[in-house]
Structure 1
Amino acid sequence: MFRRFRTRPLIAGAAAASLFAVSACGASQAGDDANWTPSQPIEMVAPAETGGGWDTLARSASRILEDTGKIDQDMQVINKPGAGGAIGWAYVAGNAGDPHKLFVTSPPIVLVPLAGQSEVDHTDFTPIARLATDYAAYLVPADSPLKSFDDLVTKLKENPASLSIAGGSAPGSMDHVAVAGAANAAGVDASNLKYVPFDGGGEATTALLGGHVDVAVSGAGEITELAKSGKVRVLSVSSDERLDTLPDVPTLKEAGVDYTYDIWRGVMGPADLTDGQVAYYESKFEELTKTDAWRTEIAKYGWADSYLGSDEFGTFLDEQKNATADILGEIGLR
């Protein structure tokens, strides 16, 4: 039996209102249809601006599913930025039972609700599949006086608020935790960092390039080409080992900081999907991860394959909530 999370009273009215539209599309809501297939184009929601990790995953996965003929309908990427992802999540949550809406996700689906900045959390959705894992990259402009992660730590130890640090997620969310956790492990008072949130990694790196912030935190896969262009200097990455895409960049552990941070990436749907609908999408995304095109794509971004099916992904999300609640408390973000 596939894992289908509950619909909360907050969105129950919207879910009920959507049932007529869904039934008009031919989708069965009364039971589990083992032969279900989509009957109209599928919306793939990226809850951020273009250019960040969510947008990249949504467009890459959708394009490859279409190009390889794995999916039975067109996939339309819809960007719904704002509130660290909560705007996009609210949109999907308001369409409970609609099997033609999916969204890409990562740690903020757990972190933002824990910080009290979203009225819905991962339990209001249906896990489909975890696809890949990225890592955090800590970067500065190419002409920055900070030449290494140790330089950054030294500066922050003198005054944690002396540098503005941009991230593409809300306070207390993914990029904030990535930098606060690393700073805390390095002996910096992470609770006093000057974190500047943006709606996606693309906006954060644009702010860095424009001289509006001193440091940025982003998914390593998002800034690989920017690093190769010489416009930024990547001080460190949060992986266990150096990344093939950034071979000259040391890990945090190499920089003397005992901290790693995984940015897992996956796909979820609204609540109240049938087992047949979940099975359809789960099988398609599993097939996606086995294609040469997908392997080439994740290698390009330095992502690691970390596929989990629906049930396993749901269990993983529950575990992530418990683990990250402890981490947020440790670094003063909860």
Structure 2
Amino acid sequence: MFSRYAFIKKVSVAIALGAVAVYAGSSATARAEYPDRPIEMTVLFGGSALATAQVLAEGMSQRLPQPVAAVSRTGGGGAVGYSYVHSMPADGYNIVWNSNSISTTYHKGNMPFDYKAFDPVAQVSVEVPALAVNASSGWNSLADLIKAAKAKGGKLKVGISGKGSFTHLTSEALFSKAGVKVIYVPYGKGSAQAELLGGRIDAAVQWPSQFISLAQAGKLKILAVTSAKRIDALPDVPTAKEQGIDIDIKMWRGIAVPKGTPKRVIGRLEEVIQHVVNSKAFRAAGKKLGFKPAYLPANIFGKVIASDDTKIAALMEELHMKKQ
């Protein structure tokens, strides 16, 4: 027979082992319950970037047990938003609606870290910049605009969303290939449409959704898109390449998280994003806002980001936009 002491010791050990098992079980449950609080999606820009991010966040919220809130943190060509998310814990509760701007912002010297500071989650969409002018200008093609730019002796004003931004890079590439010098004017607190209609700039490079309704109303004229092929949102607008300027520039958008975020968390987000991007609602939003749904999983998206970073660095070097 066991002594009373041996019996008590045996019971104590059993209780302790039980407690460990319960704790382990509860820890496993906690790990499986991501997310157990709201997720914040930092959006770097307004306009179509914010509109698309809100559509994505709404779709993700419907498929996750917790809401995803799109929060605008603009400034510095994306540096403000990237820096904020970079400073957050790598736990999946702070994600960033990223784009090629991670490369333009870094190579411009606006922030001390590059794309390697984040883990890719999924590519979501592709968007193509468009060049528009005031309809009253009388310019109906890139040739007309280039002729006017040369006549103005480098004083033609082109609106961009910010120095060192992706629209700045696109504009520089376009007009450099055209062999003309222009003055780049940041929109500031205004917008491309308002600045064009007010006559404060002569042309602007921005996303199609910013121009389509005013072009349909006859107030703006969209002269070109910068991709190699025409886009669905503007099927009647020729590419710059069709008009003799050989460029192919487009922006991808997607989701990234701070480096070191657990793979199971990235996998959960990746899975949800795939469902949202492939949904009818997201495709319909794409037609309305002028973007093309283009889902890519984390591993492939990461290769796209790295490859694009090399190309952007080279282009910025060529255009004297890269910080030395």
Q: 1:321 aligns with which of 292, 309, 312?
A: 309
Query: What is the number of equivalent residue pairs in this alignment?
Result: 295
Q: How far apart, in 1, do the equivalents of 2:41 and 2:218 lie?
A: 33
- 2:126 aligns with 133
- 1:17 aligns with none
Q: How far apart, in 2, do the equivalents of 1:199 and 1:286 lie?
A: 35
- 1:163 aligns with 156
Q: 1:63-78 counterparts in 2 under 5 A?
A: 63-66=58-61, 69-78=62-71
- The verdict on how the C-alpha distance between 1:161 and 1:187 changes in structure 2, with shifts beyond 3 A counting, is closer
Deviates more, 1:140-149 or 1:268-277: 140-149
Q: Indicate conservation of the 8 Å contact 2:128/2:208, yes or no.
A: yes
Establish whether residue 196 from structure 1 lines up as the match of residue 185 from structure 2. yes
What SS does structure 2 have at the residue aligned with 1:139?
strand
Kindly provide the amino acid, as one letter, of the partner of residue 54 in structure 2.
Answer: R
Q: How far apart, in 1, do the equivalents of 2:267 and 2:50 lie?
A: 24
- The verdict on how the C-alpha distance between 1:158 and 1:240 changes in structure 2, with shifts beyond 3 A counting, is same
Kindly provide the amino acid, as one letter, of the partner of residue 209 in structure 1.
Answer: L
Q: 1:270-285 counterparts in 2 under 5 A?
A: 270-285=258-273
Give the Å deviation of 1:162: 1.2
By percentage of residues, which structure has more helix?
2
Gaps of 5+ in 1: 1-29
Q: How far apart, in 2, do the equivalents of 1:308 and 1:160 lie?
A: 44
Q: How far apart, in 2, do the equivalents of 1:58 and 1:41 lie?
A: 16
Q: 1:254-293 counterparts in 2 under 5 A?
A: 254-293=242-281
Q: 2:34 aligns with which of 21, 25, 37?
A: 37
Q: 1:185 aligns with which of 166, 177, 181?
A: 177
What SS does structure 2 have at the residue aligned with 1:143?
helix
Give the superposed CA RMSD. 2.3
Give the Å deviation of 1:323: 1.0
Q: How far apart, in 2, do the equivalents of 1:120 and 1:96 lie?
A: 16
Kindly provide the amino acid, as one letter, of the partner of residue 319 in structure 1.
Answer: S
Kindly provide the amino acid, as one letter, of the partner of residue 181 in structure 1.
Answer: A
Q: How far apart, in 1, do the equivalents of 2:113 and 2:214 lie?
A: 34
Q: 1:176 aligns with which of 159, 168, 180?
A: 168
Q: 2:50 aligns with which of 26, 39, 55?
A: 55
> 4+ residue runs of structure 1 moved beyond 6 angstroms?
none
Gaps of 5+ in 2: 1-26
Q: Indicate conservation of the 8 Å contact 2:159/2:185, yes or no.
A: yes
Give the TM-score normalised by structure 1: 0.81
Kindly provide the amino acid, as one letter, of the partner of residue 180 in structure 1.
Answer: E
Q: Indicate conservation of the 8 Å contact 2:124/2:296, yes or no.
A: yes
1:211-263, CA deviations, whole angstroms, 9 ceiling, x for partnerless residues? 22111110123432232232211111112332232232111122121112111
Q: Indicate conservation of the 8 Å contact 1:47/1:81, yes or no.
A: yes
Q: 1:205-216 counterparts in 2 under 5 A?
A: 205-216=193-204
- 1:221 aligns with 209
Q: How far apart, in 2, do the equivalents of 1:248 and 1:63 lie?
A: 32
Q: 1:95-114 counterparts in 2 under 5 A?
A: 95-114=88-107
The structure, 1 or 2, with the larger RCO (C-alpha pairs under 8 Å, 6+ apart) is 1
What SS does structure 2 have at the residue aligned with 1:254?
helix
- 1:13 aligns with none
Name the % identity: 28
Establish whether residue 331 from structure 1 lines up as the match of residue 319 from structure 2. yes
Give the Å deviation of 1:171: 2.1
What SS does structure 1 have at the residue aligned with 2:256?
strand
Give the TM-score normalised by structure 2: 0.84
- The verdict on how the C-alpha distance between 1:106 and 1:199 changes in structure 2, with shifts beyond 3 A counting, is farther
Q: How far apart, in 2, do the equivalents of 1:44 and 1:142 lie?
A: 37
- The verdict on how the C-alpha distance between 1:107 and 1:242 changes in structure 2, with shifts beyond 3 A counting, is same
Q: How far apart, in 2, do the equivalents of 1:173 and 1:77 lie?
A: 21
Kindly provide the amino acid, as one letter, of the partner of residue 128 in structure 2.
Answer: Y
- The verdict on how the C-alpha distance between 1:318 and 1:36 changes in structure 2, with shifts beyond 3 A counting, is farther
